[in-house]
Amino acid sequence: MPDVVERSGEVGRLRAHWREAPAGGAPVLYLHGVPSASWDWLPFLERTGGVAPDLPGFGSSDKPEGFDYSIEGFDRWIESFANEAGLDRFSLVVHDWGSVGLMFAKRVPERIERLVIFNCVPFLPGYRWHWVARVWRTPVLGELFQATSTKSAFRLLSRLSNAKPGPLPADWIDRFWADYDRRTRRAILKLYRASPPDVLAAAGRGLENLRCPALILWATRDPYLGAGLGRQYAEALGGEVELEMIENAGHWPWLDRPELIERAARFLAV
């Protein structure tokens, strides 16, 4: 089991924080979603090695007000990070808003060895935001929602996010809440407001250029991203795709089904 270490440095003119561990084969880039950070990928890094950054606005990376918290802004930053980290050719694993990495991947498909997609924001036509996102996208209402959010309220809300009875694991909620400051809440509002459905659909144009082997592990009990979106991603990608619909799992599928960590590791190791 490789040791995971924490690093920091300047990437794209801001201070970035990331976790990394030595990989046995091709390096793996893990991209987290909202509202978590690189710690979400710790069990994967311990199994496969690789590198997982805190995206700007999240975790321990800088959270500047002037950063472009949009799909395009994250796309540019991820390219800078991959270059700074020396990831010339690598596998990519994405979850939730980690899908911003697909923008970079489809522009440089020759650099992508393998791709793993867990339930992620759909860069696909026809999607309509879930109710929490609609609140965040609404001026004033979104600010009020964020300003009045409490740890206990999030714990209660998280009961919808997983398939097991009860809220998300206590250690997960503790990690999330420690990072969930005013600047992260501001970043979330900016990202969602920069991403109406037509922008999501436009971001998906060119996914067929990704012809690397891909594995989609899509939970069927995700209250935010329906099961049909996994099938749409499988149809949109241009290469050989394995689609596995994961029963009894929610938005963070590996929290309900820890064996998915090993499933992803086996796919990445080929």
pLDDT digits (tens, 9 = 90+) for 150-191: 999 999 989 989 888 889 999 999 999 999 999 999 999 999
State which residues of the chain have pLDDT below 50: none
What pLDDT, on the 0 to 100 scale, is given for residue 90?
A: 97
Phi, psi of 172 (to 5 degrees): -65, -45
The number of beta carbons lying within 10 Å of the beta carbon of residue 243 is 16
Q: Give the global pTM.
A: 0.97
Positive/negative CA dihedral, 210, 212, 213, 214: negative
| Residue 26 confidence (pLDDT) | 86
163: which residues sit within 8 A by CB, 6+ positions away?
A: 219, 221, 248, 249, 250, 256
Beta strands, E only, the chain: 5-11, 14-21, 28-31, 50-53, 90-96, 112-120, 214-219, 241-246
CA 234/CA 268 separation, integer angstroms:
18
CB atoms within 10 A of CB 31: 26
Q: How far apart are CA 60 and CA 183, in angstroms?
A: 11
Q: Which CATH class is domain 5-269?
A: alpha beta
